[in-house]
Amino acid sequence: MPRVRKTTRQFEKDKAAFFNQCKARHAVCWLCGMPIDYTAEKNTSDESYNLDHLYPVSKHAELQFDPAGFRPSHTSCNRLRGNQDPPTPIGTLSRQWITTA
Ligand SMILES: [Zn+2]
């Protein structure tokens, strides 16, 4: 699967800040609602942290660098999600993305 690897310094900073926030509040995976292993190296195991986007970057490239669309996910969940649009909301997560849709 071809992937656009465009990155900016600000994006890197935003990503790092987002990761630290998630880690500090033990944010759960927004796709499955289960805890994420923040001690694991990113993108290395199924339980490890992976930065997901509310809207798939492949369909909404313009939103790739927008921190408002960042979501914490498991590496495995993100992989399973692929390029799909936001999943059926789980519990309290629903409002978050419906209001921004
Ligand atoms: Zn998950």
**Are 29 and 72 in contact, with CB atoms under 8 Å apart?**
yes
Find all residues with CB under 8 Å of 8, minimum gap 6, and list them.
65
| Every domain of the chain and the residues it spans | 24-98
**Are 86 and 54 in contact, with CB atoms under 8 Å apart?**
yes
User: Around ion ligand 1, which residues have CB less than 5 A away?
Assistant: 29, 31-32, 74, 77
**pTM for this one?**
0.75
> What is the 56 CA–ligand 1 centroid distance (Å)?
16
For residue 7, the one-letter residue type is T
Greatest CA span in the chain, whole angstroms? 35
> What is the 60 CA–ligand 1 centroid distance (Å)?
22
Give dist(CA 31, CA 81) in Å, integer: 8
pLDDT per residue as tens digits for the range 28-85: 999 999 999 999 999 999 999 999 999 888 888 888 899 999 999 999 999 998 888 7
